[in-house]
Amino acid sequence: MLEALSSLASTLWAALRPGTVLLGTLAFLFFVDFIKRRRPKNYPPGPPRLPLVGNFFQMDLEKAHLTIQQFAKKYGNILSLDFGTFPSVLVTGLPLIKEALVHQGQNFSNRPVMPLQEHVMNNKGLIMSSGQLWKEQRRFALTTLRNFGLGKKSLEERIQEEATYLIQTIREENGQVQGPWLIYSLTRCSSVPTCLSLAQYCLTMTCPRVAHE
């Protein structure tokens, strides 16, 4: 009996072609995707979705807002779209957006849960988390930073202090040409406070470049 079943299985496997196996696999994946994408009856309407890619190819990425406006005219101000395998519900129109973000802010303030983020980061951390966990971590981070001096002196006062020191140092040079190291360092900064702080550092003898020169 076992030999007959083994012979039958071998015959069927030999009869199958690679193309048939590929088509069967794709059909199975599409069926699973269709089952996963089934939505409740009260789910917001939206344009037809393609398997695996959803509505990705229906979006004009350069003018996504115009595409969404066209969908809203057809399906209403609350509609559903699938970006790949990630289902989304979009709210358009100022009254509904105000209702969702202002009047119902407690229900719509959380970040969306991404599968990769959920498995790798476990939805933790100050950037990835949301809800009560985010509030607790934010409170802890602010308390810790204040213990290190954050907020004890306003940023505006710090900028004015550094700018005054920089102007005073430049005046003391009596118009003499400065070394290129200062301009090169300042052009690599990304913010005014960083530039001013770096200028103060480089204009004192604590800067290795100044000490070397």
Pair 184, 136 in one domain: no
Letter for the amino acid at 129? Answer: S
**Cα distance between residue 153 and residue 156, in whole Å:** 9
Are residues 109 and 199 located together in one domain of the fold? no
pLDDT, residue 205, reads 47
112 and 194 inside one domain? no
pLDDT for 101-142, tens place per residue?
888 877 787 777 776 666 776 767 666 677 777 788 888 887
pLDDT at 101: 85
Q: What is the pLDDT of residue 71?
A: 92
- Whether the Cβ atoms of residue 81 and residue 102 lie closer than 8 Å to each other: no
- Of 109, 124, 146, the position where a domain reaches its end is 146
Do 67 and 109 share a domain, yes or no?
yes
CB neighbour list of residue 126: distance below 8 Å, 6 or more residues apart? 134, 137, 138, 141
Q: Based on the fold, state whether residues 91 and 126 are members of the same structural domain.
A: yes
Low-confidence ranges of the chain (pLDDT < 50): 181, 183-190, 205-213
My answer on whether 94 and 160 are in the same domain is no
Supply the pLDDT for residue 153.
Answer: 59
Domain count, the chain: 2
Q: How far apart are CA 1 and CA 8, in angstroms?
A: 11
Which pLDDT does position 179 carry in this prediction? 56
Burial class (CB in 10 A: 0-12, 13-18, 19+), 76: middle
Residue 61 DSSP symbol: G
Residue that finishes a domain, picked among 146, 169, 184: 146
Give residue 28's pLDDT.
Answer: 75
- Kindly state whether residues 38 and 85 are assigned to the same domain: yes
Q: Closest Cα partner for 90 from 38, 54, 121, 133?
A: 54
Same domain, 50 and 75: yes
Residue 182 has a CB neighbour count (10 Å cut-off) of 19
Measured between alpha carbons, how far is 5 from 152 in angstroms, rounded to an integer?
81
Report pLDDT for 187: 43
Same domain, residue pair 139 and 76:
yes
Output the pLDDT for position 210: 43
167 and 92 both lie in a single domain: no
Domain boundary among 146, 175, 193: 146
Domain span at residue 47?
2-146
**DSSP H helices in the chain:** 2-15, 18-36, 64-75, 94-98, 105-108, 115-120, 131-147, 155-172, 180-187, 192-202, 208-212
Cβ(128)–Cβ(121) under 8 Å?
yes
Residues 197 and 117 in one domain: no
Q: 142 and 181: one domain?
A: no
